[in-house]
Structure 1
Amino acid sequence: MSQVGSAPAPTWFVLKITFLLLAFCFTAMLSLAFFSSDFMIIAHVLLLVTIGTVLFVLLSRFLAETGLVPVEQQMEEMGIHKIEATEKDKGN
C-alpha cells in the first residue's frame, strides 16, 4: 500500500477506527443475541458481521491495489492547480 511519508493517510486511519468501532458494536450485538437464544436474531447478526467483514476486506484490497494518492497529485491530474485556486479566491 502506497503511503505519503511515513504516516498513513488520515482517511484510511478514520476508516480503520470506524470499522473497529463497528466490530465492537457487532460483538455486543452478537453477545446479546446469544443470550436471547433466538436463532433468527443470531442469524441476522451473523449476517451483519459477515457483510461488515467482507466490506472491510474488499476496501483494504482495493486501497492496496490503487494506493493512497496525495491531494496535490489528484489536483494536478484533474488540472486544478493551487495557483488557480488562490487566484479564484482573490477574485471573489
Structure 2
Amino acid sequence: MDTSGHNDISSTKAVLLGALASGVNGPTWSAIKITFLTLGVCFAAILALSFLSNDFIMIIHIILLVVISGTLFLLLSNFLAQTGLVSIEQQMEEMGLGPRDPIKVTKDN
C-alpha cells in the first residue's frame, strides 16, 4: 500500500493548498461547510436577540442576511455537484509541489 500522497498532508495544508490552487479539494469543502454552519448559528443567535428587542428593522435585516448566505451556500453546493472535487495530489502537481513523473521529465528536456 502506498503511504505517500494524501495521507502525508495535514488538513490545514490541504485547505491552504485548496485556497491557492484551482479547484476545491475535500478538506477545503469541509472547512467551507463548517464556516457556513458557524455563520448560521451566529445568525440564529442574532435573530433571536433581535426578536427579543422587538426591533423589526433589525429582524428584516438579519432575515435578509440569512437568505443571502443560504443562497450562496446552495449555489456553491450546486456548482461543486456539477464540477466535482479535485484531488489534493492533482492540486500539488499543478502548483509544482508534488513529485514529478519521470516520463514527463524526459519529454520536457
Question: What TM-score, normalized by structure 1, do the two folds share?
Answer: 0.71
The answer to which structure, 1 or 2, has the higher relative contact order (CA under 8 A, 6+ apart) is 1
Q: Could you tell me how far 1:75 is from its partner in structure 2?
A: 4.8
Distance 1:43 1:58, change over 3 A: same
Counterpart for residue 88 of structure 2:
71
Q: How many angstroms apart in 2 are the aligned matches of 1:81 and 1:33?
A: 49
Match of 1:82 among 70, 81, 98: 98
Distance 1:67 1:40, change over 3 A: same
Letter in 2 for 1:60: S
Q: Calculate the aligned-residue CA RMSD, in Å.
A: 2.3
| Aligned-pair identity (%) | 53
Letter in 1 for 2:37: L
Q: Could you tell me how far 1:45 is from its partner in structure 2?
A: 0.4
Aligned length, in residue pairs: 77
Instruction: Point out where structure 1 has 5 or more consecutive residues left out of the alignment.
Output: 85-92
Match of 1:52 among 61, 69, 76: 69
Instruction: Point out where structure 2 has 5 or more consecutive residues left out of the alignment.
Output: 1-5, 7-24, 101-109
Q: After TM superposition, where is structure 1 displaced by more than 4 Å over at least 4 residues in a row?
A: none
Deviations 1:24-59 (A, max 9, x none): 000001001111111111010001101110011011
Question: What TM-score, normalized by structure 2, do the two folds share?
Answer: 0.61
**How is 1:14-25 mapped onto 2 (pairs within 5 angstroms)?**
14-25=31-42
Tell whether 2:17 aligns with 1:33: no
Partner SS for 1:21:
helix
